[in-house]
Chain A
Amino acid sequence: MPPVLEVRELVKQYPGVRAVDGVSFSIAEGQCFGLLGPNGAGKTTTVEIMEGVTQPTSGEVLYRGDPIGAGFRADAGIQFQKTALQDFLTVRETLSLFTRLYPRRREVDELIRICALEQVENRDNRKLSGGQMQRLLLAIALANDPRVLFLDEPTTGLDPQARHNFWELIRSIKAEGRTVLLTTHYMDEAYELCDVIAIMDSGRIIAEGPPSRLLEDHFDDVVLELPREDFRGEPAAFPLPVLVASDRIEISTGDVEGALQALLRQGVPLKRLRIRPRNLEDLFLELTGRELRT
């Protein structure tokens, strides 16, 4: 059986910039696939080519083995990163408009319940909060009861509470067996939600696989974090490599006991010490030499 979505050697050339530079991957049925990377990495362009709203310079996108066409549009649910809706319509009317555009559709009441929009269903959609708006855009993406769902940075700009609520929504959608393609620049979001991730940078995929396996492949150590002011002495003189960030220092090591003893020898107070496993942010830094959110 062919994968639900397959991307082959995708290239998008804009004047002066190659936004997507030979990207290939495939997504299996029921999988949540995460496309990660900093702003400007080419995630949105890649996704929009997959959605059929942007034409690639070269390469192709296959939906269940065929080029994307009418069948794909009927099956796909899309949440764009930025979308304006029609003015003067309420949440309910907006959902009614979009459900009526598809042959297979969900009931408006059901969409309102799934996306927890009961409180605002009769509100003008221009008067929604950030989290409410994202939930409405998700409800629109679900209007045609999609088999494959595209979510382009759905939680950007949301507060932590709204983000966690949104994650719960995505988990329940995943549980229904739908295939999801998620782009994000939040590594924790990708780690929480995705079965497979591909990390993009400058239009290319630089790593791909299940998040835990990617971390295992690249790291066999943990990170000791200390507030910057607690670290005494010269970082360069310390026996282990020390990464100095603005407000903290990070020591990466496979030998936690040895590192702790070295710190104690220097008289560093360990009260505020934190030991954490490696995460996708570290992986991105390791792969590109750059911080993710700069």
Chain B
Amino acid sequence: MNLGRLLAVWHARNLEFLRDRSTLIFNFLFPLALVVAFAVIFGGQPRALFKVDVIAPPAAALDSALHPFIGTRYVDFVRIGADESDTAIRKVERHQVDLLLDLRGEPRYWINEDSPKGYLAERLLLESDAGGATRVPVTGAAVRYVDWLLPGILGMNMMFSCLFGVGYVVVRYRKSGFLRRLSATPVTAFEFGAAQVLSRLLLTVSVTALLYGALALFVPFRNEGSVLLLLLVAVAGALAMIAFGFMMAARFASEELANGAINLASWPMMLLSGVWFSLEGAPAWLQAVAKALPLTQMLDAARAVMLDGAGPVAVLPHLGWLAAMTMLFLGIAAAGFRWRAD
């Protein structure tokens, strides 16, 4: 590998992007507009349903026979595993779940004393429950939808920037013959690929950081964790998604085909990764698929940092998974890379 050649290609790509004003502006304005719009629309409004997480004995069905409270109309009961009780308690603290009911053995429930909806959910529980469950009070401020949504929007913008910014451009270079011209120079596929990846990484992380700063002025949001750790999460996530885009672009010679393929990959990723809504309550297999996607991994890590103040150790599994995916995608891309269109 020759660093000089890599830097030459990297520099040229940076110039190209920075001078392509329309793309640059779109990259910056689109997510900004989206976040502001969502902040205005969803600002502090509560969600319509009450949501109650239930931990029940494995064999029992989730119905009113198990507990009279279950079956109350307009309340969303979600069964969770016993190992998820810590997560569920945190959700009660953040007002994401209005009440947590544990029906293993002596019934217990967790309630956030700062939550208006928690208060109402508790009234409904007491109304239906003759025996009386043990009350475990917790406290904590609500996570507004915008706080929850913000990492998702930034992540989604990064995903599109990474997939299309690398995938589409490489396919265009191939179709136009620029790649073929480069193939007649000493540049290797790895040097070319690394230059594209690093150029897009610099760009997408810079734009995301700028957006983060701008949003902090427009829509004050919550970040409980370290900004540096968040940056590390963004870099790891961007690398995995750029590598994915590069893999998609390794062989195609038609922009339309690349466009279709990248769309096909990005939309499920966007819907399954919890950009817009949480996948809790979705079938287990779907959640497993979602977990494997790079965007999900990055968002889970970013939300853990921003909402829960998670530290490096807590997000390490996410970072490891992202690094592994980066290697896998780049390996496949380099093995199958084509310089020419025909």
Contact = CB atoms under 8 A, between A and B. Distances in A.
B4 A100 contact: yes
Interface string B3-16: 01101110111011
A15 to B, nearest CB: 11
- Contact size class for A? 20 to 34
A87 B12 CA distance: 9
Interface residues of B, number: 26
Given A73-B186, A88-B15, A88-B16, A97 B178 contact: no
A126 B214 CA distance: 35
B186 A53 contact: no
Contacts of A144: 185
B186 A86 contact: no
Contacts of A70: 186
Q: B-side binding surface: helix, strand, loop or mixed? A: helix
A100 B176 CA distance: 22
Given A53-B183, A101-B5, A101-B186, A87 B177 contact: no
B19 A83 contact: no
A139 to B, nearest CB: 13
A256 interface: no
B109 interface: no
A86 B8 contact: no
B183 A83 contact: no
A87 B16 contact: yes
A32 interface: no
B184 interface: yes
Given A52-B184, A83-B180, A84-B176, A89 B12 contact: yes
A80 interface: yes
Contacts of A100: 4-5, 7-8
A101 B16 contact: no
A80 B180 contact: yes
Interface string B150-190: 00000000000000000000000100111011111111000
A117 interface: no
B48 to A, nearest CB: 49
Contacts of B178: 83-86
A52 B187 CA distance: 14
B69 interface: no
Given A80-B177, A84-B177, A97 B184 contact: no
A93 B176 CA distance: 19
Given A80-B177, A83-B178, A97-B11, A102 B185 contact: yes
A93 B187 contact: no
B20 A87 contact: yes
A293 interface: no
Contacts of B9: 97, 101
A74 interface: yes
Interface of A: 51-53, 70, 73-74, 76, 78, 80, 82-89, 93-94, 96-98, 100-103, 140, 144
Interface of B: 4-5, 7-9, 11-13, 15-16, 19-20, 173, 176-178, 180-187, 339-340
Given A53-B184, A83-B181, A86-B173, 7 more contacts: A52-B184, A53-B340, A70-B186, A82-B177, A83-B178, A84-B181, A96-B8
